């Protein structure tokens, strides 16, 4: 990442991606709302890109994950159209104008001008980290530390389960 992009990233709010439970995004303190007409395939693509943001995902795996064994006449073209629509939807939903998805040597990559935090990746990394611990008590302590809930996170979990979405922090 060049210096200019690094400075820009530090100035923009965090994009929080919630994949555990209901899928939703928060940019800074604001929830990101996509149009009701945004296709399910586009939402699936968004989830795949965000989860694979660090290493990218091959075109073949992306086609399989998105279209599977569906009878799509031209899955590759459908993928290109879906990615184009997704890029447009991200900006329409309130994210800064940016080319969020690019391909390089057959691999699709997520890139963004803001820092991105994905809860599912954080949890996966914490589980892997705790699994490396050889001392059973230390492993349990590490798991408890990672999984303990603060009152705020407990409220957020309860709110998500009930379907409540806050519009802004009070």
**pLDDT of amino acid 127:** 82
**pLDDT of amino acid 131:** 79
**pLDDT of amino acid 99:** 95
**pLDDT of amino acid 69:** 73
Residue 88 located in a structural domain = yes
**pLDDT of amino acid 47:** 95
Residue 57: what are its φ and ψ, rounded to 5°? -140, 135
CA angle 1, 59, 99 (to 5 degrees): 40
**pLDDT of amino acid 8:** 52
Number of domains into which the chain is organized: 1
Residue 26: what are its φ and ψ, rounded to 5°? -130, 130
Quote the domain boundaries for residue 20.
Answer: 3-117
Residue 39 located in a structural domain = yes
Residue 52 located in a structural domain = yes
CATH number at residue 98: 1.10.10.10
**pLDDT of amino acid 126:** 83
Residue 25 located in a structural domain = yes
**pLDDT of amino acid 162:** 42
Residue 134 located in a structural domain = no
DSSP labels, 40-82: HHHHHHHHHHHHTTTT-EEHHHHHHHHHTT---TTHHHHHHHH
CA distance to 71, 125, 134, 164, per residue, from 64 (Å): 12, 25, 37, 33
**pLDDT of amino acid 37:** 65
Residue 35 located in a structural domain = yes
Residue 161 located in a structural domain = no
Residues 6 or more apart in contact with residue 53 via CB below 8 angstroms? 109, 110, 116, 118, 121
Q: Are 40 and 23 in contact (CB under 8 A)?
A: no
**pLDDT of amino acid 94:** 93
**pLDDT of amino acid 57:** 97
Residue 142 located in a structural domain = no
Per-residue pLDDT of the chain (170 residues; tens, 9 = 90+): 555 554 555 689 999 999 988 899 999 999 999 887 677 888 999 999 999 999 999 999 999 888 887 756 688 888 999 999 999 999 999 999 999 999 999 999 999 999 999 999 988 888 888 778 788 887 777 767 766 544 444 444 444 444 444 444 43
Q: Are 62 and 108 in contact (CB under 8 A)?
A: yes
């Amino acid at each position: 990442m060049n210096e200019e992009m690094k400075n820009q990233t530090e100035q923009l709010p965090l994009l929080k991606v919630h994949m555990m439970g209901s899928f939703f995004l928060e940019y800074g303190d604001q929830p990101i709302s996509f149009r009701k007409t945004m296709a399910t395939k586009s939402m699936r693509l968004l989830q795949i890109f965000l989860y694979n943001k660090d290493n990218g995902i091959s075109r073949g795996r992306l086609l399989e994950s998105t279209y599977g064994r569906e009878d799509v006449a031209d899955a590759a073209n459908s993928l290109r159209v879906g990615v184009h629509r997704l890029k447009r939807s991200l900006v329409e939903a309130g994210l800064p104008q940016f080319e969020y998805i690019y391909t390089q040597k057959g691999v699709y990559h997520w890139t963004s001008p803001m820092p991105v935090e994905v809860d599912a990746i954080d949890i996966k990394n914490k589980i892997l980290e705790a699994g490396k611990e050889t001392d059973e008590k230390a492993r349990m302590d590490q798991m408890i530390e990672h999984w303990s809930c603060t009152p705020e996170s407990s409220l957020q979990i309860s709110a998500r389960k009930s379907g409540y979405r806050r519009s802004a922090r009070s």
